[in-house]
Amino acid sequence: MPPAPAFETFAHDADIGVRGRGETLAEALANVGRALTGVVTEPASVREVLSVEIACKAADPELLLFDWLNALVFEMATRRVLFARYEVKVEGPALRALAFGEPVQVARHHPAVEVKGATLTGLRVAREGGAWVAECVVDV
């Protein structure tokens, strides 16, 4: 059986699910960020010409995932940017990250949809077979 992808999207009624995997919680959260970008455009099409610092804090890993995704949606919407890559550090309840990307270029990125925010539907952070999995359904 082939290994599971580091990040992916999945269908969910009228919305879209995002999933990230990694050897650490931080890596899984970085990869679920890539899946979020994948809802809008092909992440490989996004260049890394700027970086944005993002921080959030939550009582448990699931709520940290929820806050992380909503922080990314906020930054993407207000700055009109897409992110290609994330450097994430998790220390206890706190997440600090750098998101690398570029301003949206409609002719090149062909944005498919606008993500409105993370939902509590399907919100899950767990260890599976030695790896971390972080997933959530996002409203589009």
- What is the per-residue pLDDT for 11? 75
Report yes or no: 91 and 58 within 8 Å, Cβ to Cβ.
no
Q: For the residues 64-69, what does the mean pLDDT come to?
A: 98
Q: List, edge to edge, every strand of the sheet that includes 81-91.
A: 50-57, 94-103, 81-91
- What is the per-residue pLDDT for 1? 54
> Distances from the Cα of 109 to the Cαs of 19, 55, 90, in angstroms?
21, 26, 30
Give the domain range for residue 116: 7-139
pTM for this structure? Answer: 0.93
CATH number, position 21: 3.55.10.10
Q: How many domains does the chain have?
A: 1
The verdict on residue 83 lying in a domain is yes
The verdict on residue 2 lying in a domain is no
